[in-house]
Amino acid sequence: MNSPGDFGLMADSGDVERLVAGQHHDPHHVLGAHPERDGEGRGRVVIRGWRPDAACMVIVAGEQRVQMRRVHPAGVFAGVLEGPDIPDYRLETYYPGEVGEVVVTADDPYRYGPTLGPLDLHLLAEGRHEGLWRHLGAQVRVHQGTPGTSFAVWAPGARSVRVVGDFNGWDGRLHPMRVLGSSGVWEIFLPGVGPGARYKFEVVSGHGQVSLRADPFAFATEVPPATASIVTRSRHEWQDAAWFAARAATDLLRAPISIYECHLGSWRMAQDAEGGWRPLTYREAAEILPSYLADLGFTHVEFLPVAEHPFSGSWGYQVTGYYAPTARFGTPDDFRYLVDRLHQAGIGVLVDWVAGHFPKDDWALARFDGTALYEHADPRLGEHPDWGTLVFNYGRHEVRNFLLANALYWIEEFHLDGLRVDAVASMLYLDYSRREGEWVTNRFGGRENLEAIDFIKEVNEVIYRDHPSVMLVAEESTSWPAVSRPTYLGGLGFGFKWNMGWMNDTLVYFGKDPVHRRYHHHELTFALLYAFTENFILPLSHDEVAHGKGSLLGKMPGDRWQQFANLRALLAWMWAHPGRPLLFMGGEIAQNDEWNHDSSLDWHLLDYPEHAGVQALVRALNAVYRAEPALWEQDFSWGGFRWIDPDDSGNSVLSFLRFPASAGRPVACLANLTPVPRYDYRIGLPQPGRWAEILNSDHADFGGSNTLTGAVTAEGPGWNDLDYSATLTLPPLGVLWLAHDPGRG
């Protein structure tokens, strides 16, 4: 065994002291292999290692074994290999043990160059690294010919950052990371580390405070309440090429869309080993959910946020792991499998995306490097008073990049068909839910969050540029103009917007006792004053069946029969109304109780005819809706809609027509929202001849009283400013759809 001389063993003493103290910004400058020349010009390589608690270290390079000298008592060792080139070497470390020495042989992470280049850092600083997730976080890779995992994290305010995990006994002394230039990105490559390893970052703030942090770019996590990040790599092989081909050929503004909103944790449960109940895994859901949705005829499913979150009661809207599907239901590949199976069943997949705020958990994003990094430092800008969360600093390039890349990540890595952006109004307004004196104006003295507006536009532009066939949906509850209009026309650039006004007015109306509805008649007609200003989705969402609001069925007035009739009328009214329908799970089975995220839907209710009838109605609504282009082909244009009679408040009857853009037939929708049948009720129709009943919410198959119209013949005289008319029977608390039959016209 060779013993080195003293030449070149010591690095700068200040560097070594900072390394030992765990506060060196570039440990690679001290550790690893350093070629140099001796006093006679001969090449040699000085190798330094850092192993606290070690008795000694040995360099092993092929047949060479060089014992290293302890050059600092804390555990810095150094040795010399003769020759100008850096060989493939390992470090053999000897630890004292109770029954003898323990020997650990490992590759040296400090002999490897950076895994991020200058272009990556430049794009991050500009906020334009759209594939940032391929570089930050834990990347399983082969680097300089060696398999392992690179770790990289943005923490510009940190004095030092160390990676800890299963691979180093969670000892923060062992693997300090280097900062790359002035980027604020800390990086290290650990050879031999692979998928399955748990890890975190030990961050030392500028004030010397140490905190253990989950990786902001973690692609997998432990099951909550555990909070470690997990190294992972996808092995899923997608089988949805046919779906993507069909999606690319579809114009979403002229195609049928009906959405089933779903909370994966409480949709359906299975028995656990102890006889209790647990949510389905992603793979278990993949065996049931696609066929269920296909049977009911929904075109899309929208999941409440699936990104990792510590508190189940937040329903996923307080995210700590923006790049990780929640581990509650399985691995990231398990979630990919679910999406894949939905696509194979012809179901598009949307996911709620939370870019407006994040929680204050001290192991996640909040004051990540000891400074207000992702959030604003000023609480008047940086905190949400309603939710007790923090607001992203959209004016910071790297924060915008984190979120922009995240949106692309979900679409590209998980083949999603769209994102519904949560709480857009809270992003748009600086005074959102704040009293006077609790907010700061923009540079023009206004209340608009100019940085957030620019960010929203950028995200929509980039996603639609690269993925023009996806759906980007805004949950925006104010009258902000042109939310679903392109940015080049002055809009925010979304494809669709939730119609919160329609939802509120409609539920207020249907919650009234029918005897009073004549006085609230125009709460149902008001939405048509603005129905075509946006590309609207009509949401009866989770928010309407939680927080003490009761179930949809529970909102309906009257006795048990009237409650069911009202609910069926509400659903048939929604499916015929301009805008794409969205229904939260449980609505299709007339859930009795308010939604509870901790328990399953009450599937046993389908044993009762009235509940099964509502489900049958939803199935029929989707089938007829998809078969009739009049109900969706001109959904966002006055050309697809005409009132027959919006003013019959005395009878609480409303009627309108829907028209296709193609050669299809028009559809008439008539709603009688009292429990009194209307006999010999005359309506105007645009075309003569036979009009067939294609849907009746009062049909016996749906649990109704079976007051049917069948078919009617339109002829003179004209009525309601239309050239023809017919008399018919309107069912009690029922909605009737008629379609012109061109074969008998």
Distance CA 551, CA 548 (A): 9
Q: Count CA within 13 A, CB hemisphere, residue 361.
A: 22
Q: Catalytic one among 92, 302, 475, 505? A: 475
**Beta carbons of 51 and 75 less than 8 angstroms apart:** yes
Q: Catalytic one among 422, 451, 505, 534? A: 422
Distance CA 605, CA 699 (A): 20
**Beta carbons of 492 and 450 less than 8 angstroms apart:** no
In 71-228, alpha helices (H): 118-126
Under DSSP, the state recorded for 614 is: H
Q: Count CA within 13 A, CB hemisphere, residue 240.
A: 24
Bridge partner residues of 49 (DSSP)? 77
**Beta carbons of 675 and 733 less than 8 angstroms apart:** yes
Residue linked to tokens 């010999």: 680
Neighbours of 743 (CB within 10 A): 9
The encoded tokens of residue 126 equal 């500009």
In 56-197, alpha helices (H): 118-126
The encoded tokens of residue 499 equal 């119609």
Q: Which of 582, 424, 445, 539 has the alpha carbon at shortest distance from 492?
A: 424
Distance CA 208, CA 158 (A): 9
- Clarify whether 6 is annotated catalytic: no
Distance CA 712, CA 736 (A): 12
- Clarify whether 422 is annotated catalytic: yes
Distance CA 629, CA 740 (A): 13
The encoded tokens of residue 324 equal 């990780």
The encoded tokens of residue 490 equal 């002055």
Residue linked to tokens 């050059």: 71
Three-state DSSP at 728 gives strand
**Beta carbons of 303 and 634 less than 8 angstroms apart:** no
The encoded tokens of residue 332 equal 């990231």
Just list the catalytic residues.
422, 475
